[in-house]
Structure 1
Amino acid sequence: MGTLAHYWEANENKTEWTFFLKKGILFHNGKELTATDIKYTFSLLLHPDFEQFWLVENIHFIECLNRYTIRFHLYKPNELFLQFLSFPALSVIPSGSTSYIGTGPFKVQTYNPNYIALEANPSYFEGRPFVDRIEILNVPREYEKEILADHTSIFVNTGEGSNHIGDPSHKLIKGTYEGSTLFTFNLGKKTGPQQNLFFRKAVHKLIDRKKLIADLGPPRMIPAANFDINDSLEMTFEKVDDEEIRVLLQAAGYRGESVQLFTYDRHQPDAEWIKQEAANYGVSFHVTILGWNEILKQENINQADCILFEAVWGENELSKLELYQSGFSFLRQHLNQETAEFIDRNMTEIMAASRREDRSILFSEIESRLIETNALVFLVHKNIESTFHPSIKGVQLNTRGNVDFKTIWIKPDLTEKGK
């Protein structure tokens, strides 16, 4: 939304936000973007069954002041409203449409869960992309070498596949995820050993993160003390005395009950490793591996005693808000009522705080609460790798592990003149 406006302003208490739209922005279907399209888009989203309803629930009403000016009226102050509007789920579509028609640098030609084809938008208001077409694939392990050998491919290894570079002539760049792998404890579930604080403490302590990294290798990089890799770098991770873990399990009254640990393909090795380590102390984990769409189903989230996943801080404050508020968040859905209410109170203060330093303190209070109650277990920070032919230029990894397609271009072979 920020790139669609050339200027914006807010009232003093940040409950009214007015945006002055750029003229001449065209949707992929050739229609010009106006304030009416923005109001229409948000009319579709302002329903409680929208999974990212937390992004829009503070919107009281929207008014179109003229063709290129729109004003949002909020129930409560929100200093972060600009960040909210930048969230992909709030992408603007033309009035009367429900399909993938936007204003961005690429048009969606084909979309399914394992394959997306994008074509350059020649009318993009910030300049045409440098490449004509982008295809995004989920690559099965058995085809990794084929993809790596293809001079037109950019291979991003997020941990599911092997860690070979392939052709030594290819370039390799590395980045670091902002965030951490972790698993939740389902404190909203009325039964199960995870309800006991002493049990949760024992599980936290029996996981030797340095051993996890040594045993499983890259892309696992640094033991995680919390979400911030810089904080984790300053921490020491000493192996906990086995007797301390057994005392905690005894205090919890644990009698070998099975703990249901759910995760998806990317994290299967970590889940199986945790299962084996826990078994050394008589703790029984049952690991269930689901596809991404399956693990998002409410019945699976409710059934799991723990869910292992990766929290990525790609949008910094907004990513934290998403983790604590979104209907897609495993952490949010596994909180007990008391902690959820504590977080919601802090969220109201965070959105009203004008200083980033004050918001940081409030975020830290939430994280401290989660750590003190062992509502989750932090595991490791990871890095990410991208491999590609040297002729592909402009490749950069962002903090979410994604490539900015708009900056990519392919340097032609100048020895083949006229082709």
Structure 2
Amino acid sequence: MDHNSNHFLCLSAAVLPTTGTDEPIPVTIESLASILCCTPRNVKFILRKLEEQGFIHWQPGRGRGHISQLTFLRTIEEVLEGNFQELISKGKIKEAIELLSCGQVSDPLKERLLMVLNKQMGFRSESESTSGLDVLRITRNRHLEVLDPAYVYTAFESYLLGQIYSTLVTYDAASDSFLPGLAHMWEANEDHTSYIFYLRKGVRFHHGRIMTSRDVKETFQRLIDLNSPALSLYKDIERVELESDHRIRFELSRPNLFFLHMFSCIHMSILPFDVDLANEVSGTGPYRLLDLNEDVLVLTAFDYYYGIRPLLDRVEIWYLPEQASNERLYELPNPVQGELLPNIICNHSIDYPALGCRYILFNFHKEGVHQNLQFRQAIRILYSRAALIKELGGNRITPADSFLPWESSKRDFVEPALEHARNLLLASGYQGETLTFATKDKKEEREEALWFQERAASVGLQINLNLFNEFNSETIKKKNTAEILLVEEVLEDDWQWGMINYFNNKSNYLFSLLQNDQVMLFSKLLYEFTQSPKEERIKLLDQAEGVLRDNFWVLHGCHMNKKAQLNQSLFGLHTGSFGFLDISKLWIKTTSF
């Protein structure tokens, strides 16, 4: 914000609340100097500048006994909105977002300004080159978590890493098969204890160097060195041999029929061995990281990408305050005139039911009545899937009894009366103590938590809500944290990988909240998973989910529907993993016959 506007806001905050605009206010130079924390001489200079800009009218007092008069010609909201519009017109998105946090921005004004900001999101064509750059701006209402393939677990961060990095092979959900990635071919011996990958030649990292088999070996070694939460799935690898710059062999201690899944996942994104990820991000993906700070992440198309270069030149992902809506509005160029059309034409929407669901689980590291089976059965009744859909609706589409929608569809859902929950609470030994129910501070989660709190109160269960912004596994285990958590799991297209990763990844909610003896049940049950053919693997995963259901360790809620509101000029719509649109294939049609 410019100095004149800051001075105006400082004066108006101290003087204007007691009166209105266009009404003279008696003041002295000395009082204004105190408000502005400057000398009387500087006050006169500031007043002259404010008057030149039409912010105020200043009538100095002449002679002894004549008090000066200050008239505000504009309101605080008018000045704030004017500054915001000016910042937006100059493309100063960061400064505009910072202005939203100004204490003098009222909630109604913030809502209006966010609408203005949303209009700057979506597609822009900029004249920064002879042909113009195609830029897509989108928003997030939470800060990004760690962008490291060794540690990543959250869906959006995994999606972004998939745009920056590449894997040896890629999983194709439509055909349930694997396609070439950085490896153009692979083969395994007859008993699946040895795999060879043949790497493409001439593949460049974003920092310029050509990729070799050493990068693949060092990427795997990095998972070991960092003790990656996903490392347990790679425990069968005994030895890695570099047979040439473009051929690498993995020797295993036992047969592994799941090996390609493991090398198509985000954790095995190939990193350059000569770059420290803490200081520089360099992959071989369609986009390279141009900038990353607390306000924005900027991706730019990588011209030397080994595949098909993205059609969008730059993607900006801006962080907005929590008050910002999750709905994304896109203004795109008029296909005939090249001018911006109103948001009303952004009426092309796609729905994609997400794999996974929102669910409740319990903190078994904390002592309390939630350790009792009958108590958890009571919570199962309170967290009614049918009531969630009927009373809250929204993106909740079908009741869940598994993370997989097709498995949930096989179940018959019987919802007991709330009175049965009251009886189970009594039988569990509950004595009226207050339990903490934690969830992420997001709109739908807050809504669901408040709904649950009200239902719990109706049967005498006292619930205190705790909203958190980021999940920290060590903090969550402490005794002073929540007994009950509401979270969401979203699986990638390779759902078998997603499910086995859920039961093995030490950084997720399940691992953080179960005791070691509970975790060991899954280790034993799924020990033969990677050695088994597909049908046997599916049975094992179903049995593992059965353990969660039968013990009421996890209470599935509803499967969620994800929506995207898109302009009719947006083409190349391909839903990638986790249900996000694949930005590397998007393009905008700006002209038409």
Q: TM-score, normalised by structure 1?
A: 0.88
* Superposition CA RMSD, Å: 2.3
The 5 A counterparts of 1:349-388 are 349-353=528-532, 355-388=533-566
Superposed counterparts of 1:113-152, under 5 Å: 115-140=296-321, 144=325, 148-151=329-332
Q: 2:430 aligns with which of 254, 268, 289?
A: 254
| Closer, same or farther: CA 358–286 of 1 in aligned 2, 3 Å | same
- Secondary structure of 2:511's counterpart equals helix
Q: CA deviation at 1:329?
A: 1.2
Question: What is the alpha-carbon distance in structure 2 between the residues aligned to residue 142 and residue 237 of structure 1?
Answer: 36
SS at match of 1:148: coil
Match of 1:322 in 2: 501
What corresponds to 1:8 in structure 2? Answer: 186
Verify the 8 A CA contact 2:352 2:562 in the aligned structure 1: yes
| Partner Cα separation in structure 2 for residue 369 and residue 147 of structure 1 | 39
Residues 47 and 53, structure 1, Cα contact 8 Å, conserved in 2: no
CA–CA distance in 1 between the matches of 2:476 and 2:192? 39
TM superposition shift of 1:344? 0.7
1:160 alignment counterpart = none
| Residue identity in the other structure for 2:582 | D
Return the letter of the residue paired with 1:233.
Answer: S
1:331 paired with 2:510, answer yes
Tell me by how many angstroms 1:305 deviates.
1.7
1:321-351 Cα distance to aligned partner (Å, 9 max, x none): 1211112211122223333112112322111
Tell me by how many angstroms 1:408 deviates.
Answer: 0.5
Q: Compute the displacement of 1:46 (Å).
A: 0.8
Superposition deviation, residue 48 in structure 1: 5.5
Q: Indicate the SS of the match to 2:257.
A: coil
Counterparts of residues 159-198 of structure 1 (less than 5 Å): 167-187=344-364, 189-198=365-374
Equivalent position amino acid for 2:314 in 1? R
Which of 314-323 and 256-265 deviates more? Answer: 256-265
1:258 is aligned with what amino acid? T
- The aligned counterpart of 1:225 is 401
Tell me the distance in 1 between the aligned counterparts of 2:369 and 2:354: 32
What residue is the counterpart of 2:421 in the other structure?
A: 245
Q: 1:272 to 1:57 in 2, by over 3 A?
A: farther
- What is the letter of the counterpart of residue 5 of structure 1? A
The question of whether the paired residues in 2 share the 8 Å contact of 1:46 and 1:56 is answered with no
In 2, Cα distance between the equivalents of 1:236 and 1:112? 48
> Could you say which residue in structure 1 is the equivalent of 2:283?
102
Contact 2:400–2:408 (CA<8 Å) still a contact in 1? yes
Query: CA 1:231–1:50 in 2, change beyond 3 Å: closer, same or farther?
Result: closer
Deviation at residue 73 of structure 1 after TM alignment? 2.4
Q: Does 1:289 align with 2:467?
A: yes
Matched residues in 2 for 1:166 and 1:275: separation? 37
Structure 1 residues without counterparts, runs of 5 or longer = 153-164
Question: C-alpha separation between the residues in 2 aligned to 1:149 and 1:70?
Answer: 45
Matches of 2:536 and 2:270, distance apart in 1: 31
Change beyond 3 A, Cα 1:138–1:13:
farther
What's the CA shift for 1:174? 0.9
1:29-58 deviation per Cα after TM superposition (whole angstroms, max 9, x unaligned):
221110011112222221364333334444
Task: Report if the CA contact (8 A) 1:322-1:329 is conserved.
Answer: no
User: How many Å separate the matches in 1 of 2:328 and 2:420?
Assistant: 49
For normalisation by structure 2, the TM-score amounts to: 0.63
Report deviation, 1:377: 0.8
Q: Is contact 1:26-1:125 (8 Å) kept? A: yes
Matches within 5 A, 1:17-166: 17-47=195-225, 49-99=227-277, 100-112=281-293, 115-140=296-321, 144=325, 148-151=329-332
Cα gap change, 1:142 to 1:368, in 2 (>3 Å): closer
1:342 counterpart residue number:
521
- Structure having greater relative contact order (Cα 8 Å, sep ≥ 6): 1
Q: How many residues align?
A: 399
Whole-angstrom CA distance in 1 between matches of 2:239 and 2:450: 49
2:164 corresponding residue in structure 1: none
2:255 aligned counterpart, secondary structure: coil
Task: Report the Cα distance in structure 2 between the residues aligned to 1:387 and 1:228, rounded to whole angstroms.
Answer: 25
Any conservation in 2 of the 1:301–1:330 contact (CA below 8 Å)? Answer: no
How far apart in 1 are the matches of 2:436 and 2:503? 22
191-200 vs 389-398, which deviates more?
A: 389-398
Amino acid of the structure 2 residue aligned with 1:298: E
Task: Return the offset for 1:359.
Answer: 0.6
Q: After TM superposition, give the deviation of residue 181 of structure 1 in Å.
A: 0.7
* 1:263–1:289 CA contact under 8 A, matched in 2: yes
- Structure 1 runs of 4+ aligned residues shifted over 6 Å read none
Q: Residue 359 and residue 113 in structure 1: after superposition, are their counterparts in 2 closer, same or farther (change >3 A)?
A: farther
CA distance in 2, matches of 1:146, 1:79: 42
Q: Distance in 1 between matches of 2:220 and 2:294?
A: 25
The residue type equivalent to 2:512 in the other structure is Q
The separation in 2 between residues aligned to 1:251 and 1:70, in whole angstroms, is 60
Judge conservation of contact 2:356–2:491 (CA < 8 Å) in 1: yes
The answer as to whether partners of 1:61 and 1:74 remain within 8 angstroms in 2 is yes
Return the offset for 1:86: 1.6
> Aligned match of 2:583 in 387, 392, 405?
405
Asked whether the equivalents of residues 25 and 124 of structure 1 are also in contact (C-alpha less than 8 Å), the reply is yes
Give a deviation string over 1:175-214, Cα, whole Å, max 9, x none: 1011111011122x25111110111111101222222223
The residue identity in structure 2 corresponding to 1:247 is N
1:11, distance to aligned residue in structure 2 (A): 2.8
1:395 aligns with 2:576: no
Contact conserved, 1:148 with 1:167, CA < 8 A, in 2?
no
Asked if 2 retains the 8 angstrom alpha-carbon contact of 1:260 and 1:287, the reply is yes
Partners of 2:438 and 2:252 lie apart in 1 by 38
Match of 2:241, SS state, is strand
Corresponding residue number in structure 2 for 1:157: none
Cα distance in 1 between the residues matched to 2:396 and 2:585 = 28
The one-letter amino acid of 1:400's match is F
Q: Kindly state the Cα deviation for residue 379 of structure 1 after the two structures are TM-superposed.
A: 0.7
Deviation at 1:62, TM superposition (A): 1.6
Tell me the distance in 2 between the aligned counterparts of 1:261 and 1:116.
32
Match of 2:138 in 1: none
- Greater Cα shift, 88-97 or 30-39: 88-97
- Which amino acid is the alignment partner of residue 238 of structure 2? H
CA contact (8 A) 1:145 1:166 kept: no
Q: Using a 3 Å threshold, how does the CA distance of structure 1 residues 401 and 115 change in structure 2: closer, same or farther?
A: farther
Question: Partner amino acid for 1:7?
Answer: M
Matched, 1:269 2:450: no
Aligned to 2:385: 209
3-state SS, counterpart of residue 528 of structure 2: helix
